[in-house]
Each structure stands twice: as structure tokens, then as C-alpha cells.
Amino acid sequence: MTGNAVNEAMGRRAVHKALFESAALVGASALQVYLLQRLFERRLGTSRV
């Protein structure tokens, strides 16, 4: 592998890692929203006065 090929491979890996991290963050955020909604729905359902 030439230096340029190594550089391109590392750049591609960095882009893939960034995309994966972004997807993981979005997934974690969506999960948090879902769990919080469930929590509040349960609370409102059980403790309504």
C-alpha cells in the first residue's frame, strides 16, 4: 500500500466511525424519549387524582 492508499483507507474508516457514532447517538436519544414517555404515561395513569 502506498502512503496515499493508507491515507484514503484511514479517512474512510474515520468517516464510517463518525457515521456509526452519529447513528448510535440518534438511537440512544430515541430510546431515551421512548422510555421517558412510557415512564410518564405510567405515572399519569396510576397517580391521577
Q: Which residues fall within 8 angstroms of residue 36, CB to CB, at 6 or more apart?
A: none
The domain segmentation of the chain, as residue ranges, is 1-49
Q: What is the pLDDT of residue 30?
A: 98
Distant-in-sequence, close-in-space partners of 1: CB < 8 Å, separation ≥ 6: 9
Given a cut of 70, the residues of the chain with pLDDT beneath it are 1, 46-49
Q: What pLDDT is attached to residue 29? A: 99
Residue-level pLDDT at 49: 53
Q: Give residue 36's pLDDT.
A: 95
So what's the pLDDT on residue 1?
A: 65
- What's the pTM value of the predicted model, to 2 decimals? 0.66
